[in-house]
Amino acid sequence: MVVLLIGWRYANTPFQKPQNKICLHLHMKQRVGLFGFGKTGKAVANVILQNNQFSLEWVLRQSNLLENRSVPEFLGVDSDEPGKIYSLATTNLNDLLDQMPVDFIIDFSSTSGIYTYGKIANERNIKIISAISHYSEKEIGYLNELSKTSVVFWSPNITLGVNYLLFASRYLKKIAPWVDIEIIEEHFKEKQGLSGTAIKIADALDLNKEKINSIRAGGIVGKHEVIFGFPFQTVRLIHESISREAFGNGALFVAQNLGAKKAGLYNFEDVLLPYFAS
């Protein structure tokens, strides 16, 4: 469906549209609101802008340094999508959604972000895709509560490749449950704590965290390796993120596969299992 809107005029509002201009909005695209605009958030925004199935309506972030900037202009991407940057310090989310509704909220912000948009997304039937690495039991409980009436997805690593690695690791251990297993995770020097993805791999393979070996060096985006030690041989499964755009590809893959889902809390296994089953 195509809707033609003529002569937008919103006086005295931070979401003011161009006056006396014809604005053409294509509702065929799935509309996305992005939380977070750090290094990963910028890479994800870049991927969304270049995908013709999705439209980046807005970005909401804590800082007001880039407030009111255009994401396509900031990233140097040729796009006519709205993609304007707003700050939580000066923006009311309900007002923003009244003017610029979305179908998905994709979250690459922080553990507290879910409390900013969770209830509002729930009330407006907006699907939630969270890619936060670490949630406490409190946040996980809140996700479960929201999922009773909303579609909620959470994965500590939302790249397709690392989730393929997770599947392959499970199957290999099922074949040889007695095999020795070690996990190595490598990340940029500033990353704090154990990798959430490495913890997820360890949990999936019923391993203690002591089996996770961490390396912090330079600007490594992210690398996970699972070593299977067989007698007289080893098998190594490795996933390496070459650039942070991989997180954007994963997030949009999830969005494409959540369309027909009913309310519930989903993870990558729920999204991938139908492909493996077929």
- CATH number of the domain where residue 42 is located: 3.40.50.720
Is there a single domain that holds both residue 249 and residue 126?
yes
* pLDDT of res. 13: 40
Band (pLDDT 50/70/90 cuts) for residue 10 is very low
Give the total number of structural domains in the chain: 2
**Residue 25: is its pLDDT beyond 80?**
no
Question: What mean pLDDT comes out for the span 37-49?
Answer: 95
Of the two residues 275 and 30, the one the predictor is more confident about is 30
| Interval 117-130: pLDDT, tens | 999 999 999 999 99
How large is the C-alpha radius of gyration of the chain?
Answer: 20
Is there a single domain that holds both residue 6 and residue 81?
yes
Is there a single domain that holds both residue 121 and residue 73?
yes
Pairing of strands 233-240, 223-230: antiparallel
DSSP conformational letter for 70? B
Is there a single domain that holds both residue 56 and residue 189?
no
> Would you call 51 helix, strand, or coil by DSSP?
coil
**Residue 52: is its pLDDT beyond 60?**
yes
Is there a single domain that holds both residue 85 and residue 208?
no
Band (pLDDT 50/70/90 cuts) for residue 82 is confident
Burial of 75 (0-12, 13-18, 19+ CB in 10 A): middle
Is there a single domain that holds both residue 143 and residue 270?
yes
Question: What mean pLDDT comes out for the span 248-269?
Answer: 94
**Residue 77: is its pLDDT beyond 70?**
yes
In sequence order, what are the residues at sequence separation of 6 or more whose Cβ sits closer than 8 angstroms to the Cβ of residue 77?
46, 49, 50, 71
Is there a single domain that holds both residue 61 and residue 179?
no
Band (pLDDT 50/70/90 cuts) for residue 18 is very low
Q: Residue 74 and residue 123: Cα distance in Å, rounded? A: 32
Is there a single domain that holds both residue 10 and residue 87?
yes
Is there a single domain that holds both residue 267 and residue 140?
yes
* pLDDT of res. 278: 60
Average pLDDT across the chain, whole number: 88
Is there a single domain that holds both residue 168 and residue 231?
yes
**Residue 26: is its pLDDT beyond 80?**
no
Is there a single domain that holds both residue 84 and residue 217?
no
Is there a single domain that holds both residue 174 and residue 253?
no
**Residue 259: is its pLDDT beyond 90?**
no
| Interval 193-233: pLDDT, tens | 898 889 989 999 999 999 999 999 998 888 999 999 999 99
For residue 33, the surrounding DSSP H or E stretch is strand 30-35
* pLDDT of res. 274: 84
Q: Which domain holds residue 216?
A: 160-240
